[in-house]
Amino acid sequence: MGPSAGPSGTEVRQVLNPLKTLVLNVTLQCPLRCAHCCFSSDMFKGGCLSAADVELAITQASRTPALDTVCFVGGDPLLHPALVADGIAFAASLGLKTSITTSAFWAKSPEKARSVLGDLRAAGLTDLTISYDDAHAAFVRESYIANAVSEARALGITVRVAVVVETGSIITADSLRKSLGLEGDRSVKVYQTVANSTGRAAETAAGAVDRPVAHPDAYRGPCQSVLNTVEIDHEGGIRPCCGVLPHHDALAIGHIHGNGIGEAISAAAADPLFRWISLEGPVAILAQVTAEDETPLRREDFDGICTACDLLFGNAALLARVRAAAELRRERIGHIESLLMRVAQGQREMVAAE
């Protein structure tokens, strides 16, 4: 008998990057109309996951051994509080942590914040992420954020405040931490991420006379969410990442009423393009593939990796070129993944031996 075959690409990816997080994009509707919204959300958007689809998606994802968290996002998921509360209760019954990302538009008073969050905590909510920055401040008062933070903490919910920044932003993580009286208090994580020019932000940039200057902290490296996060869009489509960019059909890998999450993510884990994105990131990939073009794409052309994927999966001709390049690199990608897997296993063995 000859030597046994090494692990397949899918097996390697599942060891390196197992599916840990399910993101449910409940709706694209939002009472705000933020200038940087990747989905161009507003109250005119249609579609919403049904309660049955929320339960189906959680059921399918829970069959993946490493899954530990279900996140409810939008738009704003708390336009549908009863649906979200039922989904949280179902996820909690399976032993999963749960998280909501919201603008806190509903926290107009401490009493209102306590009412909304009390029901969610009773259902099993463990984590709350509040979005607030210059764009959100055009629609939501800072006092709403303070109400939501205070009441969530009182209920024992882990709280994070996400601040999206651009070049010249007035509100930053440091300034918001100070104005909320959280200086020196690390029980609430206030952090910032850099805006990507997708969705409404891309529309704004396209109409600008001067091209916006990319933020110095713009991230252009490997994607940290592809293959270990799966997003279900408001129509039940499956995407193999956090999905924080317009919902291009080319990025979909299945549907919860079709192949289901398990089969979809296994197929994606064998796809050399997604594996390449995980290893090098879409910015580096686009720069490599177009290097010999008359006008090549450069690293500095992108203000983030979601901007790069927005271009990649929104342009059929470019995507075909990149897929062909990924196929040619399949063996090389496999070798790198196998090496990384051996390193990861060695590190686990060292920790176990200590």
What confidence score (pLDDT) does residue 347 get? 74
Token readout for 282 is 């879409």
What confidence score (pLDDT) does residue 353 get? 77
What confidence score (pLDDT) does residue 16 get? 63
Token readout for 157 is 């919910």
Separation of alpha carbons 166 and 220, rounded Å = 15
Per residue in 291-309, pLDDT (tens digit) is: 999 999 999 999 999 999 9
Per residue in 5-64, pLDDT (tens digit) is: 445 555 555 556 689 999 999 999 999 999 999 999 999 999 999 999 999 999 999 999
What confidence score (pLDDT) does residue 209 get? 47
Separation of alpha carbons 247 and 207, rounded Å = 22
Separation of alpha carbons 192 and 297, rounded Å = 27
Rounded to two decimals, the pTM is 0.92
Q: Which residues of 223-233 are buried (b: 16+ CB within 10 A; e: fewer)?
A: bebbbbbbbbb
What confidence score (pLDDT) does residue 205 get? 63
Can you tell me whether residue 156 is helix, strand or coil?
coil
Q: Which segments in the chain show pLDDT lower than 50?
A: 1-6, 209
Does 3.20.20.70 match the CATH number of domain 18-194?
yes
What confidence score (pLDDT) does residue 14 get? 54
What confidence score (pLDDT) does residue 3 get? 39
What confidence score (pLDDT) does residue 349 get? 73
Number of Cβ within 10 Å of residue 21's Cβ equals 20
What confidence score (pLDDT) does residue 208 get? 53
Separation of alpha carbons 252 and 255, rounded Å = 8
What confidence score (pLDDT) does residue 1 get? 39
Per DSSP, 196 falls in state P
Residues 314, 250 contacting (CB under 8 angstroms): yes
Separation of alpha carbons 117 and 211, rounded Å = 41
> Tokens 């549907």 belong to which residue?
255
What confidence score (pLDDT) does residue 343 get? 80
User: By percentage, how much of the chain surpasses pLDDT 90?
Assistant: 84
Q: Among the residues of the chain, which ranges form H helices?
A: 9-16, 51-62, 81-93, 110-123, 134-137, 142-154, 173-179, 200-206, 260-269, 272-280, 282-289, 305-314, 316-328, 330-353
Token readout for 251 is 């990025």
Q: Which residues of 94-132 are buried (b: 16+ CB within 10 A; e: fewer)?
A: eebbbbbbbbbbbbeeeeebbebbeebbebbbbbbbbbb
